[in-house]
């Protein structure tokens, strides 16, 4: 793994551009589109040979409150304010208030701008609600995959002739500040820099063959996601998920956090993350949580339920990993199976043979290896909760669910880390804040590189918080970076 660091340098670069964007996932592509639309010369630097990021791996569902696309779904009452309330309710008020505001106040505008300027054809998923969302506000491209979302954004970038330099991993940020020589920033043992008034002057990229190149810039946007792909950082900041599967993009190795530490930037909620309690094992495919929201249950290898499945899929990662062999079964019926067939990733799991079915509970027990008697008891108890004969000890309200019956379906799943939520703290223009209260005038961040809106705990993640900040912050950061270039970056220099 290449060393990532910060060095002093003021000129003599191999080339210069106005705005550099690091990372070509949703955040970077949107930041680049916005900066270019405001007249800036932009270069995207991406470490992979073909840009994909976690964005391609995702389901591509982007929550936005108050868009015009929600109106046909009858959700005119949704707004930035209502969305912000749901985000804070999920994290018990622990999300950074300013970041929630920044995301919620900009996401609807960003989505409409992408539709109007780049013909991204948003649809709204109006057939079920993810835990914690009171409105149908999940937007997606018609293919309903992150891969298609990424492809559409990349096509827009190519159409605008914005260059994407691939196989260009940014390894060094250059600053005009002198090193204080103090070293040891927590993750690294390198020089730290005096943040007050410092500016980013450029970056160094490292090619796969070890060649280096320096590129100067007037503004820099960090869109290189978080540290899910850096096992050492996960162990340090989120030990509870360190033994779980990492299901995000391996190239997200925490570079923004390492640079932030050296630059004395403010970092928050490094223990926050998006987990998921339903990744097919051993196939490694996401099984939509819609199965649980539609009435499915999870049982462990002993055939017992172990949690409230409607609490949220993120915190369910930890609950699942606490079970024997870190494995459990999703149990549901034919009605839910047919509903789930509307999700491309579920169809993939069917094709891969991950989904089992049986005509009786006994046959299901035999296929899954779960004790038949206990599985019977569990399903009978769920029937009782549904008919209000008894109360679920885990607190799930089964009242509105339809009864489950044969034919039965099951899929073996494990818990996983999808992406980290901690990162750089931003001001209302997505400029990186320093620990001394000043801001970096020409350093911007968004998506998983920035502190998210989920607070410090896994349970704070409301579905869609990941792409929310990738899209909204990318949109704001790109616009602000272009303005910074236009103004020579001198406005309010050093002020918070
Ligand atoms: C299976 C799965 C399903 C998900 N589903 C959803 C969903 O439906 N809705 C939702 O909101 N969120 C979802 N998420 C989370 C979501 O994918 C991320 O939050 C989002 O994609 C982050 O976007 P980004 O642009 O910040 O990062 P990415 O898309 O990961 O892009 C970062 C890019 O930066 C590059 N990079 C990293 N370091 C460097 C460097 N030093 N130099 C150059 N390039 C670098 C990487 O190669 C990568 O291409 C899901 C995640 C997973 C794993």
* 472 CA to centre of ligand 1 in angstroms: 14
Q: For the ranges 49-63, 310-324, 336-350, 481-495, which has the lowest average pLDDT?
A: 481-495
Whether residues 181 and 301 fall in one domain: no
The confidence band for 26, taking pLDDT boundaries of 50, 70 and 90, is: very high
In-domain check, residue 315 = yes
Residue to substitute in 5, 6, 20, 25 for testing ligand 1 pocket (most ligand atoms within 8 angstroms of CB): 25
- Confirm or reject: Cβ of 59 under 6 Å from ligand 1: yes
Determine the Cα–Cα distance for residues 449 and 469; give it in Å rounded to an integer: 10
Which CATH number do you get for residue 317? 3.90.700.10
Determine the Cα–Cα distance for residues 252 and 470; give it in Å rounded to an integer: 14
* 335 CA to centre of ligand 1 in angstroms: 33
Whether residues 189 and 120 fall in one domain: yes
Q: For the ranges 30-44, 194-208, 314-328, 368-382, which has the lowest average pLDDT?
A: 194-208
Q: Residue 362 sits in which domain range?
A: 274-417
Q: Among 417, 433, 462, identify where a domain stops.
A: 417
* 362 CA to centre of ligand 1 in angstroms: 42
- Confirm or reject: Cβ of 454 under 6 Å from ligand 1: no
In-domain check, residue 236 = yes
Whether residues 431 and 388 fall in one domain: no
- Confirm or reject: Cβ of 61 under 6 Å from ligand 1: yes
Closest residue by Cα to atom 48, ligand 1, is 53
Predicted pLDDT at 189: 44
Whether residues 404 and 441 fall in one domain: no
CA angle 447, 449, 453 (to 5 degrees): 60
What are the φ/ψ torsions at residue 21 (nearest 5 degrees)?
-115, 125
Per-residue model confidence as pLDDT tens digits over 96-123: 999 999 999 999 999 999 999 999 999 9
Whether residues 127 and 180 fall in one domain: yes
Q: Among 417, 433, 464, identify where a domain stops.
A: 417
Whether residues 250 and 347 fall in one domain: no
Whether residues 70 and 215 fall in one domain: yes
DSSP label at residue 324: G
Number of domain units in the chain:
2
Closest residue by Cα to atom 1, ligand 1, is 58
Determine the Cα–Cα distance for residues 224 and 47; give it in Å rounded to an integer: 9
- Which residue, among 342, 321, 228, 231, has the nearest Cα to 278 in the 3D structure? 321
Per-residue model confidence as pLDDT tens digits over 130-152: 889 999 999 999 999 999 999 99
Q: Among 402, 417, 432, identify where a domain stops.
A: 417
Whether residues 109 and 70 fall in one domain: yes
Which CATH number do you get for residue 194? 3.50.50.60
- Confirm or reject: Cβ of 418 under 6 Å from ligand 1: yes
Predicted pLDDT at 220: 98
In-domain check, residue 494 = no
- Confirm or reject: Cβ of 280 under 6 Å from ligand 1: no
Whether residues 314 and 390 fall in one domain: yes
pTM above 0.85, yes or no: yes
Determine the Cα–Cα distance for residues 45 and 216; give it in Å rounded to an integer: 13
490 or 410: which leads in pLDDT: 410
Residue to substitute in 48, 146, 241, 416 for testing ligand 1 pocket (most ligand atoms within 8 angstroms of CB): 146
Residue 436: both structure tokens together: 């001394």
E strands within 234-321?
Answer: 245-246, 267-268, 273-280, 285-286, 297-300
Instruction: Check whether 129 has a pLDDT greater than 70.
Output: yes
Whether residues 406 and 446 fall in one domain: no
Report, as an integer, the average pLDDT of 218-222: 98
In-domain check, residue 491 = no
Whether residues 410 and 448 fall in one domain: no
Within 13 Å and on the Cβ side, how many CA atoms surround 119? 8
Instruction: Check whether 190 has a pLDDT greater than 70.
Output: no
- Confirm or reject: Cβ of 293 under 6 Å from ligand 1: no
- Which residue, among 202, 180, 203, has the nearest Cα to 190 in the 3D structure? 180
Report, as an integer, the average pLDDT of 157-171: 98
Residue to substitute in 28, 58, 61 for testing ligand 1 pocket (most ligand atoms within 8 angstroms of CB): 58
* 464 CA to centre of ligand 1 in angstroms: 12
In-domain check, residue 240 = yes
- Confirm or reject: Cβ of 340 under 6 Å from ligand 1: no
Whether residues 373 and 282 fall in one domain: yes
In-domain check, residue 172 = yes
In-domain check, residue 496 = no
- Which residue, among 250, 256, 278, has the nearest Cα to 268 in the 3D structure? 256
In-domain check, residue 269 = no
């Amino acid at each position: 793994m290449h060393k990532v660091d910060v060095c002093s340098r003021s000129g003599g670069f191999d080339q210069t551009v106005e705005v550099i964007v690091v990372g070509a996932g949703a955040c970077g592509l949107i930041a680049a589109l916005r900066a270019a639309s405001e007249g800036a010369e932009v270069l995207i630097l991406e470490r992979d040979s073909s840009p994909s990021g976690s964005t391609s791996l995702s389901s591509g569902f982007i929550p936005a409150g108050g868009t015009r696309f929600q109106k046909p779904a009858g959700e005119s009452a949704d707004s930035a304010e209502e969305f912000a309330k749901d985000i804070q309710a999920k994290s018990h008020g622990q999300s950074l208030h300013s970041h929630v505001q920044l995301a919620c106040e900009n996401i609807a505008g960003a989505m409409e701008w992408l539709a109007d300027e780049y013909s991204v054809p948003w649809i709204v998923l109006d057939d079920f609600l993810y835990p914690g969302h009171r409105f149908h506000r999940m937007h997606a491209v018609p293919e309903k995959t992150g891969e298609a979302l990424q492809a559409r954004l990349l096509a827009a970038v190519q159409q605008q002739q914005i260059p994407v330099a691939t196989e260009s991993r940014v390894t060094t940020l250059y600053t005009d500040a002198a090193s204080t020589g103090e070293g040891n920033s927590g993750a690294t043992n390198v020089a730290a820099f005096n943040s007050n008034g410092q500016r980013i002057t450029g970056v160094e990229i490292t090619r796969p063959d070890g060649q280096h190149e320096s590129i100067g810039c007037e503004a820099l946007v960090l869109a290189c996601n978080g540290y899910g792909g850096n096992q050492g950082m996960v162990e340090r900041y989120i030990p509870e998920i360190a033994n779980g599967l990492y299901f995000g993009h391996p190239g997200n190795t925490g570079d923004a956090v390492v640079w932030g530490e050296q630059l004395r930037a403010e970092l928050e909620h490094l223990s926050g993350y998006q987990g998921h309690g339903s990744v097919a094992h051993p196939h490694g495919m996401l099984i939509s949580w819609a199965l649980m929201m539609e009435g499915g249950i999870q049982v462990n290898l002993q055939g017992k339920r172990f949690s409230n499945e409607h609490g949220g899929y993120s915190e369910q990662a930890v609950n699942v990993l606490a079970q024997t062999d870190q494995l459990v079964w999703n149990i549901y019926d034919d009605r839910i199976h047919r509903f789930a067939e509307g999700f491309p990733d579920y169809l993939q799991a069917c094709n891969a043979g991950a989904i089992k079915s049986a005509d009786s509970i006994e046959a299901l027990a035999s296929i899954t290896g779960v004790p038949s008697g206990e599985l019977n008891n569990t399903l009978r108890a769920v029937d009782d909760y549904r008919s209000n004969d008894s109360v679920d000890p885990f607190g799930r309200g089964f009242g509105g669910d339809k009864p489950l019956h044969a034919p039965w379906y099951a899929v073996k799943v494990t818990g996983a880390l999808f992406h980290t939520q901690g990162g750089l703290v931003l001001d209302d223009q997505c400029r990186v804040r320093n620990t001394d209260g000043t801001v970096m005038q020409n350093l911007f961040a968004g998506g998983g590189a920035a502190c998210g809106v989920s607070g410090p705990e896994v349970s704070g993640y409301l579905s869609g918080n990941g792409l929310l900040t990738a899209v909204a912050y990318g949109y704001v950061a790109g616009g602000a970076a272009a303005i910074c270039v236009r103004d020579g970056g001198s406005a309010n220099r050093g002020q918070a």
